[in-house]
Amino acid sequence: MDPDEARSGEAAGLQPVAAGTGRPAAGTAGSKRHIPPASLARLTIYLRALSVMLTDGIERVSSEELAEAAGVNSPMLRKDLSYLGSYGTRGVGYDVSYLSGQISAALGLTLNWRVAIVGAGNLGRALAGYPGFGTRGFEVVALFDADQTMIGQEVGGLKIRPVSALEAELEKTEANMAVLSVPAEVAQELCDRLVASGITSILSFAPVVLQAPKNVQIRKVDMATELQILAYHAQRAQVSEIASDARARLAR
Amino acid sequence: MDPDEARSGEAAGLQPVAAGTGRPAAGTAGSKRHIPPASLARLTIYLRALSVMLTDGIERVSSEELAEAAGVNSPMLRKDLSYLGSYGTRGVGYDVSYLSGQISAALGLTLNWRVAIVGAGNLGRALAGYPGFGTRGFEVVALFDADQTMIGQEVGGLKIRPVSALEAELEKTEANMAVLSVPAEVAQELCDRLVASGITSILSFAPVVLQAPKNVQIRKVDMATELQILAYHAQRAQVSEIASDARARLAR
DNA sequence: AAATGTGAAAGATTTCACAGCG
DNA sequence: CGCTGTGAAATCTTTCACATTT
């Protein structure tokens, strides 16, 4: 799913980097080989759990405790962290603040991410006002909508701009990420315009499969999909309940 | 989003589910052995692509075409469908309408899903008004909020109810699924109340790990996680670009 | 003594190639 | 002949056990 090598960064010397597929042995600090996608998703959860601990004034945590807080088991947590480096102390645990910093750095959250939100309906507004963004290196720098009546309204300290000015505003605000919260019908068209403007990271809430060059990373969040998956499990639970009722009856 | 399928795929880690190597015992439609989670997520995408085709009056489709529309490769699509049964015609392809019906049945979408939305902020309202729900077996039957000033407001034909009446309304409306679109601080408490009321399928947008009995299915959608994953990839792309620039300079 | 970090085994998922059927 | 359906191989992920370090 994803090519390429190292990154710049800081801190933490590290091993010669497993030879693997003839990758250049990483430079000085931080730069690791790639993090498995499954692991990556969990690292963001650890990060949040660590933030809460930091707020609560907790300074040290064991893999067992952090795993518990993140809803995974501890070997998995340790394996995930091992993709980044060795940031714990044997017999002791992890320093909450330090580990938090290391994960942030590995995920690239120390860079300046400037997000444009395209579509200022309820979803777009919810996103624009979402506190979770601002607090972790993401700054919402522009908000667009096609609806004339919305233009100029302020949401979360940001004026809604006309989508006709998309390209100009993207450039002016130096956005480097975009969120698509528009109806399915226009999502591909807007995606194309974002890509043409040089955006290579897009989070889409539109229930369509977007086509884009493969240097563009697209992630999709799909509420209907999520509910359908729940429905599948619920249905099975129902069926097996009925089945076990039947067994219970037969057993008498 | 994964895929995630599109990449929305991963995340939402649930427990192992001891497999058991049994044959899919070809019954009629519906109750097959279990569908692998990764496959399940993609099936919902196929379903949507098929709906579009149905609307467009397309009657037949090959695995190649459907895979293309869903953004996957055709062997994968065929493998996914094979978990449900053999619904195609060799040498020909699939009947759009028939396949669509079979997938719907397998996912349990022919049952009556009644969704309660807890939290009527922008996100809750966006969900209440989301057309994708109504159109596939999901009916929003209740909408709650704790904010007094919102009580009684109408959103998408539904009056907002006080969250204090949660239990009573859940029973009255016979809701069998819930969506949590509330702040992180109160998510666990509301989750507990939902579970106590007999809800066993919950979709949460709150950025916290929810604890619940394991007969309760919880899925989590987390915007911050999604952006962080994008950031990781974008950062790597940047660095490798810089690295290759450097190599280019050195090569001269 | 306690808890990390990691090879190696076990388990899932994806890819592949081609047998099988219309 | 064309396209589906599926075993088997390749790859990725999770689990496990324990050597290692403080």
Q: Which of B5, B10, B203 sits opposite A230 (nearest CB)?
A: B203
CA dihedral sign, ordered A143, A147, A148, A153:
negative
Confidence of residue A8 (pLDDT cuts 50, 70, 90): very low
- Specify the pLDDT at position A249: 67
Distance CA A38, CA A21 (A): 20
Per-residue model confidence as pLDDT tens digits over B11-45? 343 332 233 323 333 334 445 679 999 999 999 99
- Specify the pLDDT at position B30: 46
A26 vs B181, more confident: B181
Look up residue B225 and give its two tokens.
Answer: 């996680």
Per-residue model confidence as pLDDT tens digits over B190-219? 999 999 999 999 999 999 999 999 999 999
B148 vs A238, more confident: B148
Nucleotide closest to A94 measured between CA and C1': C4
Question: Which residues of chain B neighbour A201 with C-beta distances below 8 Å?
Answer: 230-231, 233-234
Per-residue model confidence as pLDDT tens digits over A188-220? 999 999 999 999 999 999 999 999 999 999 999
CB atoms within 10 A of CB A28: 13
What is the distance in angstroms between the CA of the first residue and the CA of the last residue of chain A?
Answer: 54
Per-residue model confidence as pLDDT tens digits over B123-174? 999 999 988 776 778 999 999 999 999 999 999 899 999 999 999 999 999 9
User: Does position A1 have pLDDT exceeding 70, yes or no?
Assistant: no
Pairing state between β A88-89 and A60-61: unpaired
pLDDT, mean over chain B: 87
* Cross-strand bridge partners of residue B94: B61, B88
Residue nearest the C1' of C5 (CA based)? A82
* Cross-strand bridge partners of residue B89: B93
Look up residue B178 and give its two tokens.
Answer: 């819930």
- Specify the pLDDT at position B130: 87
**Helix (H) / strand (E) containing B66:** helix B63-70
* Contact criterion met (CB < 8 Å) for A126 and B121: yes
Which ranges in A17-139 belong to alpha helices (H)? 37-55, 63-70, 74-82, 96-107, 122-128, 131-134
Mean pLDDT to the nearest integer, B171-200: 98
- Specify the pLDDT at position B136: 78
Q: Please name the residues in contact with B213: beta carbons below 8 A apart, sequence gap of 6 or more.
A: B195
* Cross-strand bridge partners of residue A68: none
Confidence of residue A15 (pLDDT cuts 50, 70, 90): very low
- Provide, in whole angstroms, the distance separating residue A48's CA from nucleotide D19's C1': 31
Burial of residue B227 (number of CB atoms within 10 Å: 0-12, 13-18, 19+): buried
- Specify the pLDDT at position B217: 97
Q: Please name the residues in contact with B205: beta carbons below 8 A apart, sequence gap of 6 or more.
A: B123, B179, B180, B181, B220, B221, B222, B223
A19 vs B29, more confident: B29
User: Does position A101 have pLDDT exceeding 80, yes or no?
Assistant: yes
Per-residue model confidence as pLDDT tens digits over B39-91? 999 999 999 999 999 999 999 999 999 999 999 999 999 999 999 999 999 99
Query: Which residue of B lies nearest to A241 if distances are taken between CA atoms?
Result: B215
Q: Which of A37, A41, A138 sits opposite B227 (nearest CB)?
A: A138
Q: Which of B22, B201, B214 is nearest to B107 (CA)?
A: B201
β-sheet with A113-118: strand ranges across: A154-155, A158-162, A138-145, A113-118, A177-180, A201-204, A217-220
Question: Which residues of chain A neighbour B217 with C-beta distances below 8 Å?
Answer: 230, 233-234, 237
Distance CA B237, CA B195 (A): 43
- Specify the pLDDT at position A31: 54
Per-residue model confidence as pLDDT tens digits over A24-39? 333 323 456 899 999 9
Centroid of chain to Cα A58:
25
User: Does position A14 have pLDDT exceeding 50, yes or no?
Assistant: no
Q: Please say whether the beta carbons of A52 and A31 come within 8 A.
A: no
Query: Which residue of A lies nearest to B200 if distances are taken between CA atoms?
Result: A234
User: Does position A93 have pLDDT exceeding 60, yes or no?
Assistant: yes
Give the largest CA-CA distance in chain B: 76
- Specify the pLDDT at position A238: 81
- Specify the pLDDT at position A172: 98
Question: Which positions of B make up the binding site?
Answer: 119-124
Question: Which residues of chain B neighbour A35 with C-beta distances below 8 Å?
Answer: 232
Q: Which of B31, B44, B231 sits opposite A224 (nearest CB)?
A: B44
For residue A135, the distance in angstroms to the closest alpha carbon of chain B comes to 10
Per-residue model confidence as pLDDT tens digits over A123-135? 999 999 988 776 7
Mean pLDDT to the nearest integer, A76-102: 98
How many CA atoms, within 13 angstroms, populate the side-chain half-sphere of residue B215? 9
Q: Using N-to-C axis directions, what is the helix angle for B223-251 and A96-107, rounded to 10°? A: 60
Distance CA B132, CA B108 (A): 16
* Contact criterion met (CB < 8 Å) for B45 and A239: no
Distance CA B71, CA B85 (A): 22
Look up residue B3 and give its two tokens.
Answer: 């895929």
* Contact criterion met (CB < 8 Å) for A207 and B48: yes
Q: Please say whether the beta carbons of A47 and A104 come within 8 A.
A: yes
CB atoms within 10 A of CB B148: 8
CB atoms within 10 A of CB B67: 21
CB atoms within 10 A of CB A125: 25
Q: Which of A7, A132, A239 sits opposite B224 (nearest CB)?
A: A132
User: Does position A159 have pLDDT exceeding 90, yes or no?
Assistant: yes
Question: Which residues of chain B neighbour A65 with C-beta distances below 8 Å?
Answer: none
User: Does position A117 have pLDDT exceeding 90, yes or no?
Assistant: yes
Which residues 93-152 on A are within 7 A of strand D at the CB atom?
Answer: none
Residue nearest the C1' of C3 (CA based)? A91
Q: Please say whether the beta carbons of B176 and B114 come within 8 A.
A: yes
Distance CA A88, CA A75 (A): 14
Question: Which residues of chain A neighbour B237 with C-beta distances below 8 Å?
Answer: 4, 200, 215, 217
Distance CA B227, CA A121 (A): 20
